[in-house]
Amino acid sequence: MSAAGKALWYIETHADQPLALADIAAAAGLSPFHLSRLFQARTGTSVVRYLRGRRLTAAAQRLADGAGDILQVALGAGYTTHAAFTRAFNEQFGQTPERVREQGTDGLALVQAIRVDDAPAPCGEAPRLLDTPAFQVAGIGMRHTRDSGGAIPGQWAQLNREWPTPAPISFGVCCNSDDDGGFDYIAALPASALPTVPAHWQRVDVPARRYLVAWHGGHISAIRSTWFWLLDHYLPGSGLSLANAPDLERYDTRFDEHTGNGGVEIWLPVDERPR
């Protein structure tokens, strides 16, 4: 079973118990940060959001089945007060618990259990470790939600309009992720290669550290399949853990920005996993 599959199994079998991100990560054999990034990538939602949705879905089904004491339902879903439960329930479904108890779950967007495909695409070349010095990049930055990643190609188009001079190296930087699946993405150039940096461009300091470097040789639109394989299959068995630092896409002259072909390096920040 993949690491993501283990996390989903653990959530489903322990959702009625006190459960923290660290507990789920330990069951999957990952660090909390690694699990957060992996889970978001594989499922399209965050661990916290999914766990909350599954608990509230179970609560809605209990209410629709005629549960009499809403506070007991709230406690079973992990809420200590009626008010906190009602607020979360309404935010999730747009209905009060009392209304669902009266009218049932018809029309509610219930959160169903997720199953993941255990066959992401492996790299064509063996990943390698690379130690890099610190450097700075600058470019077009944007905050994304879990649903807005499709806007990333537009950032590259804007970068190319604002800096039309061909660059031998460019970087896509992903950083500052949160528990709800939000993250910053910067389509960037090495600051050292720029005579001046436009004032509205976002700068990112990339720390000196070790990276796992993997080659994605397919079309750029399929990069997530290689990323999934690294996070869900390669890293868990490698003795390495994803570090809480920016991860990078490194584009060189092999990449054709007009066709999306040519390949790209994926740089994942890694640490040795504690034994």
Q: Is the pLDDT of residue 118 over 60?
A: no
CA distance 37 to 224: 12
The proportion of the chain whose per-residue pLDDT surpasses 70, expressed as a percent, equals 95
Tokens of 82: 């009626």
The pLDDT assigned to 1 comes to 63
Sign of CA dihedral 111, 119, 233, 123: negative
Residue 115 has pLDDT above 80, yes or no: no
Q: Where in the chain is the domain with CATH 3.20.80.10?
A: 126-270
Per-residue pLDDT tens digits for 225-252: 888 889 988 999 899 999 999 999 999 9
The average pLDDT across 161-166 equals: 87
Of 36-40, 91-95, 131-135, 189-193, the one with minimum mean pLDDT is 36-40
Give the residue from 175, 231, 225, 227 showing the smallest Cα distance to 205: 175
Question: Residue 91: pLDDT band by 50, 70, 90 thresholds?
Answer: very high
For the question of whether the overall pTM of this predicted structure is more than 0.85, the answer is no
Helix axes 3-14, 32-43, angle to 10 degrees: 90
Residue 120: per-residue pLDDT = 65
pLDDT at residue 119 greater than cutoff 90: no
The structure tokens listed for 204 are: 């990112």
CATH 1.10.10.60 in the chain, residues? Answer: 1-101
152 pLDDT exceeds 80?
A: yes
Mean pLDDT of 185-209: 95
Domain 1-101 class, CATH top level:
mainly alpha
CA distance linking residue 14 with residue 138, whole number of Å: 44
Least confident of 4-18, 65-79, 173-187, 259-273: 4-18
**Band (157; pLDDT cuts 50, 70, 90):** confident
pLDDT, the chain, mean: 89
For 126-270, give the CATH class.
alpha beta
